[in-house]
Structure 1
């Protein structure tokens, strides 16, 4: 939907990013399980290989919001 129809802007200035991904968890335990799985080298490799198709890993920023 955002494909040039609704540009991402903040205070009228175009964003330097064009993707926003939101992960949600039912509770803190779900979040902890997610990060625990992220320690598995096979899981990391699968995620990185997929992300290489659409993300610039050097430019990725992660925020945690409670």
Structure 2
């Protein structure tokens, strides 16, 4: 499986790179769900990048 390139602004919060777009999406999902259990389709490539670059992003 080829490695997928993930764009990352490096904590600048640009709102346009893959990382910012994904984190904004996760935040939006949490707000829309309003505490109700929900499921979303995760992006494995971006989450693997986040785990390597920002080990505490899930907390």
TM-score by length of 1: 0.28
Q: Which has the higher contact order (CA 8 A, sep 6+)?
A: 2
Structure richer in helix, relative to its length:
2
Whose radius of gyration is greater, 1 or 2?
1
TM-score by length of 2: 0.29
